[in-house]
Amino acid sequence: WVFMVTARAPTNIAVIKYWGKRDEKLILPINDSISVTLDPDHLSATTTVAVSPSFSSDRMWLNGKEVSLGGERYQNCLREIRSRGRDVVDEKSGTLIKKEDWQTLHLHIASHNNFPTAAGLASSAAGFACLVYALAKLMDIEERYAGELSAIARQGSGSACRSLYGGFVKWDMGKERDGSDSIAVQLATEEHWEELVILVAVVSSRQKETSSTTGMRESVETSELLHHRAQEVVPKRIVQMQEAIANHDFASFARITCVDSNQFHAVCLDASPPIFYMNDTSHRIINCIEKWNRFEGTPQVSYTFDAGPNAVICAPSRKVAGLLLQRLLYYFPPDSSKELSSYVIGDTSI
């Protein structure tokens, strides 16, 4: 017999960035962060997990290629999940898997991303959130406290904890040493601000040179600005961002999103040696948006960049997103420039 479960989890984009860990093993951050979960039709991971007595080892395939499950992050997630597994009965065949069987039965995992891996579009976030969620379904796990699954996904990749929820999500850094209170909390559902449109301008789908994990470690060790940011700046911004989201205040939402992205990249520049995630095209996108926002006197759209050169742009409506797209096409004509390879907007892709 084989039991299987398939799940899908979208990626999320931080509007207040997580950057820096206080515990690398448990993946505990030095500041709270806030994100928007994207529409799963565009940027998501789909994962099938299967269990069978005929499997002789745990194995995983990512986009059709076998990958090792030997890394600490996978092992931590699998151990945490297995220890919470419950008795499961297959209704059709009457097969019973007892909770202690989860410790010895092997798993096969097949995961697919519908977007470039490691291009700074947070593919690990969707991947680990999806893995943990699918395994929890397979093993019929119920959360003992709100956010328990997010605390497991966090041990795969920090930002993954936020992808367990849709809409607007806050990751509380927590205080406990065991990380039990370092969990994601939904601030508002996706229906709360339905008009908001997110557009991703894909500048490069190449693998980034410095992974977030390495970049973060180097920033913690060498950047003074990082500590100022975590202690003095982010706590105030978290409060302001929560207010902006609650009040549908797009101008404040956009202003905080842009300055926070810029400060995160300033921290990377402040590391020694400096880390560059954005490129000239990213800078031109920032210029284009800043000029437009200044011309109108109030923010029309926001931009944010993760650990890569791709821009994630938020607009308050499809109409404004359309105007933005026109501008981007004017600045970066598709036929004469290969700088921007594609745009993904709502349900349209160019």
Which residues form the interface with ligand DP6 (CB under 6 A)?
Answer: 14, 17-19, 27, 33, 122, 124, 157-159, 212-213, 216, 306-307
Residue 212 or 293: the one with the smaller Cβ distance to ligand DP6 is 212
Cα 80 to chain centroid distance, Å, stands at 21
Q: How far apart are CA 284 and CA 141, in angstroms?
A: 47
Residue nearer to ligand DP6 on the CB measure, 19 or 193: 19
The minimum distance between CB 19 and ligand DP6, in angstroms, equals 6
**Shortest Cβ distance from residue 263 to ligand DP6 (Å)?**
12
Bridge pairing between strands 28-29 and 3-10: unpaired
DSSP at 2: -
Nearer to ligand DP6, 231 or 298 (CB): 231
In whole angstroms, the minimum distance from the beta carbon of 73 to ligand DP6 comes to 8
d(Cα 115, Cα 45) in Å, to the nearest integer?
9
Q: Indicate the residue among 29 and 85 with the shorter CB distance to ligand DP6.
A: 29
Instruction: Give me the least distance between CB of 325 and ligand DP6, in Å please.
Output: 24
* Shortest distance (Å) from residue 11 CB to ligand DP6: 9
Residue 83, both tokens? 């220890």
For residue 72, the one-letter residue type is: E
Closest CA to 171 of 111, 124, 238: 238
Q: Burial letters for 62-89: b for 16+ Cβ neighbours within 10 Å, e otherwise?
A: beeeeeebeeebbebbbebbbebbeebe
CB of 33 to ligand DP6, least distance (A): 5
Bridge partners, 62 (sequence order): 65, 111
Residue placing its CB nearer to ligand DP6 in the complex, 33 or 223? 33
3-state secondary structure 189-204: CHHHHCCCEEEEEECC
Distance CA 28, CA 50 (A): 30
318-331 helix and 280-296 helix, angle to the nearest 10 degrees: 130
Give min distance, CB of 290 to ligand DP6, in A.
Answer: 21
Task: For residues 29 and 22, give the distance between their C-alpha atoms in angstroms, rounded to a whole number.
Answer: 6
Residue placing its CB nearer to ligand DP6 in the complex, 1 or 276: 276
Show Cβ contacts of residue 17 under 8 Å, excluding neighbours closer than 6 positions: 33, 260, 261, 264, 306
For ligand DP6, the closer of residues 266 and 323 by Cβ is 266
Q: Which residue has the closest beta carbon to ligand DP6?
A: 158
Least separation in angstroms between residue 304's CB and ligand DP6 is: 9
Which CB, 159 or 186, lies closer to ligand DP6? Answer: 159
